[in-house]
Structure 1
């Protein structure tokens, strides 16, 4: 699993998914979902804090970590040859 997933890598993965959308429509939708969760987590923590909703903190954290966890899972599954990860090369 990558230790850090900077915005540039997120963008490169998204670009790969956009370019290969016709061949991999489900992967495209999954990556969009990961990015939506990331944005919701990044944006949601401030209202959760301001509205004193501590129950939302773990949800925001999970959302912020979603792309990182997804990429880690896909790379691990690719290494064990359970799922092929064609966009792996875009991380370099």
Structure 2
């Protein structure tokens, strides 16, 4: 996902936060974990914590995996996802 797509989803979530408060909270957690993964790479490299690098990669890819999973569930009819229009 691009930074523009991330901000579009975040903007949609904030605009509809009264109707979808849980989705906003989950998206905030996803973005927090993404940022921890992004910022954890330099620290892991500096202290040579090689075991943390795969965790940082997984955290860095979390928004893409989350939106992909939500898109799949929406298409199969198991979960309604209104914010997909923001992408």
TM-score, normalised with respect to structure 2 = 0.97
Structure 2: runs of 5 or more not aligned: none
Instruction: Between the two structures, name the one with larger relative contact order (CA 8 Å, sep ≥ 6).
Output: 1
Separation in 2 of the partners of 1:89 and 1:26?
A: 18
Separation in 2 of the partners of 1:86 and 1:44?
A: 32
- 1:18 aligns with 14
Aligned equivalent of 2:36, options 37, 40, 44: 40
- 2:73 aligns with 77
Shift of 1:58: 1.2
Structure 1: runs of 5 or more not aligned: none
Matched positions, count: 87
> Aligned-residue CA RMSD in angstroms?
0.6
Aligned equivalent of 2:52, options 42, 45, 56: 56
Structure 1's consecutive aligned runs of 4 or more residues displaced over 3 angstroms after TM superposition are none
Shift of 1:73: 0.2
